[in-house]
Structure 1
Amino acid sequence: MPIRPEHRHFYPIDWPQLSAVIRFGRAAGRCERCGRPHGQVIVCLDGGSWYDAEAGAWRTDRGRVLRRTPDLASARLTRPILAACHRAHDTSLNGDGDLAAWCQRCHLIHDRPEHIRRRRLTYLRRRALGDLFLGPYPNL
């Protein structure tokens, strides 16, 4: 995933090389949480289940093999892309155990609480600036 310009100084200079080692060296091009392959077109369902063509089996959103064929009504094609992610949301921790290779879905699920926290701060900041420069907001 691209790094925002204002956050770029938090990452080490060799981040692209470090990311490649984690994603393709250690994880061998597969999501470490669900097992989805990087850059290959796969069939996914709404619940996160997906078809693993190499194994010839349906897998859950956590990579476990399903015992029965799921309902294919919500099937769609997708191409997962791996990203090197910080497990603890701390960009200063770049050790092998601090980083993970996750697909977009797993990365967003992991970061959901952090995104909610940042969204709340953004709303509070906008409200405070509105009160400061425009007066109080009308009651909605």
Structure 2
Amino acid sequence: MPIAPEHRWFYPIDWRELSQVIRFTRAQGRCEHCGRPHGQEITHLGDGTWWDAERGIWHDGRGRRVRGLPPPQALEAGQLILVGIPPAPRLPVTRVVLASARLDHDPSNNRPRNLAALCQRCHMLYDADEHRRRRWSKVFRLHARGDLFD
């Protein structure tokens, strides 16, 4: 994942190598929260439930097996109309990209136990509170700066 120039100072000089070790050596190319595989296109239901084509099973947003759901081909083909489930025209497909995330949001803490390999969905969910805090802070600063000149 590219690093924005204004955030470059948050990362050590060897971040690329450190991230590579976390994502592909320790996590073996899978999200450490939900198990999604890096670089593959996965079929999902939009609520975190995703189809693991390698194992032939559905997983929930935490990587646990979901029972009772038919394969995506059955959902798309409309074979479940008799059960009362309407056919899905086309299930969404997403390419999974792993990134190394800091679990404590501290830019200076680059210890391996503080880093996790997360897919884009898990990363956004994990960082949601921090993103809200930063957005509020930015809006607050903009309003405060505006008050100086009014």
Q: Helix, strand or coil: the match of 1:97?
A: helix
Give the distance between the partners of 2:2 and 2:102, measured in 1 at CA: 14
TM-score, normalised with respect to structure 1: 0.90
* Unaligned segments of structure 1, at least 5 residues: 136-140
Q: Residue deviations 1:26-49, cap 9 Å, x none?
A: 111100000001010110111110
How big is the shift at 1:127? 0.7
How big is the shift at 1:124? 0.7
Give the distance between the partners of 1:128 and 1:84, measured in 2 at CA: 34
Answering whether residue 39 of structure 2 is matched by residue 39 of structure 1, we say yes
Q: Helix, strand or coil: the match of 1:84?
A: strand
Q: Residue 138 of structure 1 aligns with which residue?
A: none
How big is the shift at 1:5? 1.5
Give the distance between the partners of 1:78 and 1:11, measured in 2 at CA: 28
Q: Residue 11 of structure 2 aligns with which residue?
A: 11
How big is the shift at 1:90? 0.9
Q: Residue 116 of structure 1 aligns with which residue?
A: 132
TM-score, normalised with respect to structure 2: 0.84
Aligned length: 134
1:1-140 equivalences in 2 (<5 Å): 1-69=1-69, 72=75, 73=88, 75-133=91-149, 135=150
How big is the shift at 1:3? 2.0
Q: Helix, strand or coil: the match of 2:101?
A: strand
Give the distance between the partners of 1:10 and 1:61, measured in 2 at CA: 29
Q: Helix, strand or coil: the match of 1:58?
A: strand
Give the distance between the partners of 1:66 and 1:113, measured in 2 at CA: 28
Tell me the C-alpha RMSD between the 2 structures.
1.5
Q: Residue deviations 1:74-107, cap 9 Å, x none?
A: 7201101000110000121111211000000000
Aligned-pair identity in percent equals 57
Give the distance between the partners of 1:76 and 1:11, measured in 2 at CA: 34
How big is the shift at 1:61? 0.6
Give the distance between the partners of 2:52 and 2:128, measured in 1 at CA: 26
